[in-house]
Amino acid sequence: MDLLDNLALGFSTALLIQNVVYCFVGVLLGTAVGVLPGIGPTATVAMLLPITFNFEPVTALIMLAGIYYGAQYGGSTTAILINLPGESSAAVTALDGHEMARRGRAGAALAAAAVGSFIAGTVATVVLAVAAPPLARVALQFGPAEYFSLVFLGLIVSISLARGSALKALAMIALGVLLGTVGQDIYTGTPRFTLDQRELFGGIDFVSVAVGMFGVAEILRNLENEHARTAVAGRVRNLWPTREDRRRIIGPILRGTGLGAALGVLPGGGHVLASFTSYAVEKRVSKRREEFGHGAIEGVAGPESANNAAAQTSFIPLLTLGLPAHPVMALMVGAFIVHGITPGPNVITDEPALFWGLIASMWIGNVLLVLLNLPLIGIWVRMLRIPYQVLFPMIILFAAIGTYSLGFNAFDVYAIVFFGLLGYVLIKCGCEPAPLLLGFVLGPLTEENLRRALIISRGDATVFLTRPISAVLLVLAVAALIIAALPAIRRRREVVFTEED
């Protein structure tokens, strides 16, 4: 009964006019950035974060969440029609989706992606609604030692799932943690690494780091490697699968939903891992293996279901533990903080309307996405004809104005430039900025709980091993590090992320 009462509260919040409008705006923007290669939900959420400062907290979070899961929908459109994934998790969809489009079956591929995404998103939202409250109750039993071990485990797992070199991912997390320590000491107030700059006494601004690393740096990279964006698909017809298609996609959708719901909670690229794992599973269990890579509809329905389910369940660690599963969730942590809310297990009791309103908005968003994606295919394809040289100055201007408006401090705009150039250099060196942002967000939380646990234990470091939950989490962290270092696992990671690129 409690669940039904909570969902009723959630829908009464999510169905308020302003929340429905901003949910629509979020999924519309998300679909657009999913369609346009090179922008992505991370950069978009980072650049729109400043303008949500004047929104009600629940309205802001509903819109930002809509951008994220909307991008998972939109990324499949260009992957199918022009073989150019708009979102990293849609890369595997292009393998069979574009082959179907070339054979005149673009409509069936798009419908399979949309239906799979809708079913997976709906089921995963149910999983979120059912799993989050008990997890939040468990998290309330955590002390500083358990939180430190949990955050440490999250950082280690994010290294294991990061693309490219695990050593570079470790270096990026370390750099992020160091940047997170800039400012005044949390207990003594002593300035650290401030270079005598008054603006740094309060720490480096989260929005400046996010916009620079994921907005400006991505724009610089895309200007260097401009893609040809010529739509090759003609008018899309038959936007509904045949009876045979429907029979073939039921299994992949259900398996993809299960995989995505489970893998979405993992730190790092859980949604990317889910889509590639789903494709591998479908290829293995299919009786038509020879069709994969040549237009198998299972190769579209499974991965699309997996990445959309993962997009929904990635909110579980954020809402229950206050831990981001990937960069977009790290930005959502920033959105909570900007609005004066501490993300974690207390949100469900302190802000029930926000917690359940956000979950209910995901059902509404999924319905809006189905209505947006299929009827407006022509509009999304025409968007690809906008020259990137026209888009990028508008994007940077919008980001700079939004960041400046937060504190009316020009230093924040200079910080965008600095972190944009730093991000570009790191990308050129083969280092992904995503682990850096996770380290930047989780670093202060790690330090705070480490020092608090040591203060409570009077400096006894064995407290992390004598408390059972903390010890188990640390053992899992060590195991994750060892597994990531195994040659077979390392080779598999390289294969997956090479295919994605």
Lowest mean pLDDT among 117-121, 217-221, 378-382, 423-427: 378-382
Q: What would the mean pLDDT of 187-214 be, rounded to a whole number?
A: 83
pLDDT of res. 169? 83
**Torsion-angle region of residue 77: left (phi > 0), alpha (psi -120 to 50) or beta?**
alpha
Q: What would the mean pLDDT of 31-39 be, rounded to a whole number?
A: 71
Q: Could you tell me what percent of the chain has a pLDDT over 70? A: 85
Residue 232 counted as domain residue? no
Q: Strand pairing partners for 184?
A: 191
Q: What b-and-e string marks burial along 283-296, b requiring 16 or more CB atoms within 10 Å of the CB?
A: beebeeeebbeebb
User: In 3D, which of 80, 158, 150 has the Cα closest to residue 112?
Assistant: 80
Residue 54 counted as domain residue? yes
Q: What is the pLDDT of residues 446-463, one digit of tens each?
A: 888 899 999 998 888 889
Q: What is the pLDDT of residues 309-341, one digit of tens each?
A: 888 888 888 888 877 877 788 888 888 888 888
Q: What would the mean pLDDT of 423-442 be, rounded to a whole number?
A: 84
pLDDT of res. 486? 65
Count CB atoms within 10 A of the CB of residue 227. Answer: 12
Residue 349 counted as domain residue? yes
Q: What is the pLDDT of residues 56-115, one digit of tens each?
A: 889 999 998 888 888 777 777 777 776 666 566 676 787 788 788 877 787 788 888 888
Residue 39 counted as domain residue? yes
Q: What are phi and psi of 182, to 5 degrees?
A: -65, 135
> For strand 191-192 and strand 183-184, is the pairing parallel, antiparallel, or unpaired?
antiparallel
pLDDT of res. 229? 46
pLDDT of res. 501? 47
Residue 492 counted as domain residue? yes
Structural domain boundaries, residue 400? 2-227+242-500
**Cα dist. 150→143, 261, 487 in Å?**
11, 20, 26
Residue 28 counted as domain residue? yes
**Cα dist. 287→96, 248, 283, 290 in Å?**
16, 11, 9, 9
User: In 3D, which of 94, 123, 126 has the Cα closest to residue 110?
Assistant: 94
Q: Please report which confidence band the pLDDT of residue 445 belongs to, taking 50, 70 and 90 as the band edges.
A: confident
Residue 235 counted as domain residue? no
Q: Please report which confidence band the pLDDT of residue 37 belongs to, taking 50, 70 and 90 as the band edges.
A: low
Residue 236 counted as domain residue? no
Q: In total, how many domains does the chain have? A: 1
pLDDT of res. 497? 46
**Cα dist. 319→5, 250, 352 in Å?**
19, 31, 11
The mean pLDDT of the chain is 80
Model confidence at 398: pLDDT above 80: no
